[in-house]
Structures are given as C-alpha cells and as structure tokens.
A and B are shown apart, each in its own frame.
Chain A
Amino acid sequence: MSDVVAQGLDPSNPNLRFLEEVSRRTAGVSRLEMCIQCGTCGGSCPSSADMDHTPRMLFAMIRAGMREEALQSNTPWICVSCYHCVVRCPQDVHIADVMYTLKSMAIHAKLYRDSTPPHFSQTFVDMVEKYGRSYEFGLATRHYLKHFPLRLPGMAPMGLGMLTRKRIELKPRRIRGIQQLHAILERAKEVEENE
C-alpha cells in the first residue's frame, strides 16, 4: 500500500469513513468510535500471540482509515469469540461483533491473506443454505481435503471414532421448510446488497 500518512491527510480519501462503515455494518450498536485505546482487549485476549495486530491496534488502524491493512490483518480470523475483551472493555465496544464485520468485509473485498478460515466459513454456510442444518461430514471432508490433506492420516482414527460412536452422520438432514428458508435468505441477501 502507498504512503498511508499522506493518505490520511487527504480529506477526500473515502477510507477516512472506514470507521463509520465498519460501525454501520455491525449488527448491534458497535460503539467502535468510543474506543479509548486502553488496551484492555489485547491484554485479555487468549489468542493475541497469534494475531498480526491486537484488537486495540486494529481499532486504531480502522480509525486512521487504513482500510486495506485492517482488512488484511489476520486478527479477526484468529479471534475465537471468547468475549473476554467484550465484558472487560470500559467503553462497551462490541469487539467480537466488529471482528465478524471485518471478516465479512474482508471476504467481500477478497482481502484475506489465508484462505483457510474464509473457505471454512463459506463451506459451512453452503451446507446450511442447502439443507437448513449443518452437515459436519460434508463440511469436514471438503474442508480437510482442501486445506489440511496432511492432517488427514492423523485424523483418520478420530473420524472413525466419530462414526463408531455415532457422533457424525453420513447423510445430511434437510429441514421441511427449505424453500421457505431459501426465500428468506434470498431476500436477506438483496437487503444486504442494497445497503
């Protein structure tokens, strides 16, 4: 990315509205603009060691209009939705939901760097949209073959164990109202696009 400082100084830069956009796209009232950069979130985070940026840093980048850098960060993908930061944040920022928003925006803009997490989410969503239920067998086989072929031999006993314990079903279950669900999701997607 080009000179970020120069970008930040340009008032016509649409990225200056990035904070507003993230906030608007978040499901509840994000309160992201209320962040006081105290760092409580990063200090509470069990997986911050694996993150490119702590949540606090990420929120500073969002405020600075660093759109591409923020959407490329692995942080939202490493977030495990533990909500530790959420209950500790002095400003009640809906941190975990902001992470979800950033993921969806990164998918939309194709800015994620590791395709494993978004493909997993998308595969899960595909199954749910098709059947109305999650379908773990289909999800696991598609996902592991594509992203973790090397993990498969080690996983085989577990897969077998899941079967012998009746903890995984080979066939998907489909809800009766699948047409209704399709109609609802179609409309929801239109509403989302027109936003």
Chain B
Amino acid sequence: MSAYLYYPGCSMEASALAYHESLMAICEPLGLNLDEIEDWNCCGATEYVGVSTTPAYALICRNLALAKEQAKGTDTVVAPCSACYLNLAKANYYMRERPSLGEKVNAALAAGGLHYEPDSLIIRHLLDVIINDIGLDTVKSKVVRPLTGLRVAPYLGCMVPRPDYQKRWSDHEHPNELDRLLRALGAQVIDFPLKTHCCGGHMTQIGPATAFELIRRLIASAQQHQADLMATVCPMCQMNIDAYQAETNRHFRTNYRMPILFFTQLMGLAFGLDPKRLGFGREFVNAQPALSRIGVEVPTNEAEQKPPRIPGRRDKNLPMPRMPGEEEN
C-alpha cells in the first residue's frame, strides 16, 4: 500500500463526482491509500489570486499547514484536480522562491494558530503518482477487460504539465504519460496534437465566445483524428468540453457529440469493475455509443437519450450586458 495525503478539491464533491467515484473504486486494485486532509478548504481556483495575493496564498496554505500536521509516514500530497494541484504546488514553490511571501503567509496563518514551512511537503498530481509510483506494470497486471479498439484522445489540459516547478513531466507541451497509461489499458491512443491546449478555463463563465472557440478547436481536432472519446485528468476540462458542448454547438451551428471521460473511469472499466461504481451517466455527452463499439454497457442518464428541446436560439446580435467599471464593487 502506498499512502499519500489527499487533497480532493471542491469539484470532486459535485461537478466532477464521476472522477471521485471512479478514483475511489480503483484505489483498492491499485493499492493506493489516500488519507484525506481533515477539514481542507477551497484552493481559490484561478479566481482568488486575481483579486489579492496574500489572502489567496494564505487560503491555499491553510491546507498545506493542516496536511503537514496530519502527515504520518508520507510528505506527499496528491491532488486529482489540475487547478488545485497547481495552486498547492505554486504556493509551495513561491514561498521559498520569494521568502517575503512566505513570511506574509505565515503571519496570516499564525492568526489561525498554523504555520507552514515552504517545501516541507511534496505536491503531486494523481496521474504522476499512478505512472511513477504505482507504475504501468502494476496497472497492466490489473487489466482484465482491455479497451481494445477504443480510440481515445489523451487530453491533459494546461495546468498539469505546465509550469511544472518540479520537472516531473516528460514534456511541457507534448507529454506522453497519459498516452502510456491509456495504452496500458489496451486503448488505441490517437496522437492528439492539442493534448495540452486550453479548455477555456473560467472563460465559459465570463467570456463565452473566447471559451467556445477553444472548446471547438479541441473537439474538432479529436474528431478529425477519429477519436471515439476524450480522456481527461481535470474537472474543469471535463466540465467545459462536456457540459458546454451543447452551447458550443449552438454558437457555431455544429453538431459535435464528443464524449469526455475521466481517465480513472477508463481504468475502472479496464480493471473489470462494475460500471455503476465508476460515475457513468453523469456526463452530458453520452459515452455509451462509443463504449458500445467495444461491447461495454454502462449506466446512462435517461435525460441524455432525449435532449430537451431548447426554446429559441440565442440571437447572435444581442449585445453582452456590460457595466461601467466605476459603477460598483
């Protein structure tokens, strides 16, 4: 059993519930022991750092301070979410690179009776731990239902391979870790040129046109390479490409139906686990047609079979509501 401190992050409890469920299901076969940090808080995503610096880093570091107190026999924190992983890793790194930041953060933490010594923990992403600690040999040995014939686009997004403070990834722009893992599951992995391109991040919320174009590029490229589905390591990427695919289609008058699953769901399938435990049916773009190609039945969401009719189409000429910057807040 390899034991790690575990920082789930907010998405795992809701929007990425399928990631959580499938991860919990594969822990046992992988011999992965995740010790959840008690009473962890949100990492601030990509929002708090854009509002004010010291509070944003203090928010992140409360988690690190709690993790350090809880640590028994390991100094490694694992995060499944890309943004959480980067925030934790960044705080760890910058507090040492710029000691004045470390002092300010610790002055703040002291108000809550906490302290964190920069770099006293190691922050790693779940995929890194599975590839480099558990290893592909172990993964392969657990495969009882290989995904033979399933064409998968490996999609990492931005914040796992970049900026990569600890130089853990094989490449910043074309890393091969996810490809190797999916191949170990028996899948046919396409050479996906946009594997570390952006999913639009929070732009789906604040600048949809910018986001839709980024989403469109990814789906179009995956489709062009005849992928049956995309596999992701990130809750935000999954959400944007999956839940916003319909809106993206409306925006461009396209008709893409590209499913995107968490890599842990595919691992669970290949390990022969009951699909009911793997979060299937939570995706908006139904993955069943793709999985039928390899003879796998998974639970689906009924609503997905008959997409509700959307009343009227968004008028492209309607202006976005804008407010004068001075007005408030």
Contacts and interface: CB of A to CB of B under 8 A. Distances in A.
B329 A115 contact: yes
Nearest to B251: A154
Contacts of B198: 46-47, 80, 82, 84
Nearest to B48: A125
A187 to B, nearest CB: 4
A128 B107 contact: no
A169 B244 CA distance: 18
Contacts of A183: 111-112
A176 B38 CA distance: 10
Interface stretch (A6-14, A53-61, A141-149): A141-149
A184 B210 contact: no
Interface in B238-276: 243-244, 246-247, 250
Contact of A112 (B13, B172, B325): B325
**Chain A: interface residue count, which band?**
35 or more
A147 B206 CA distance: 8
A164 B301 contact: yes
Given A115-B327, A168-B14, A177-B112, A86 B41 contact: no
Which of A121, A136, A195 has the most chain B CB within a 10 Å cutoff? Answer: A121
B112 A150 contact: no
B48 A124 contact: yes
Interface in B30-50: 39-42, 44-50
Given A114-B322, A155-B247, A192-B53, A166 B282 contact: yes
B59 A128 contact: yes
Nearest to A28: B94
12 contacts: A107-B50, A116-B206, A122-B51, A124-B47, A125-B47, A134-B10, A136-B15, A158-B247, A164-B303, A169-B14, A180-B62, A192-B55
Interface of A: 25-29, 46-47, 50, 76-78, 80-84, 86-87, 96-97, 99-101, 103-104, 107, 110-122, 124-125, 128, 132-134, 136, 140, 143, 147-151, 153-155, 157-158, 160-162, 164-169, 173, 175-177, 180-181, 183-189, 191-192, 195
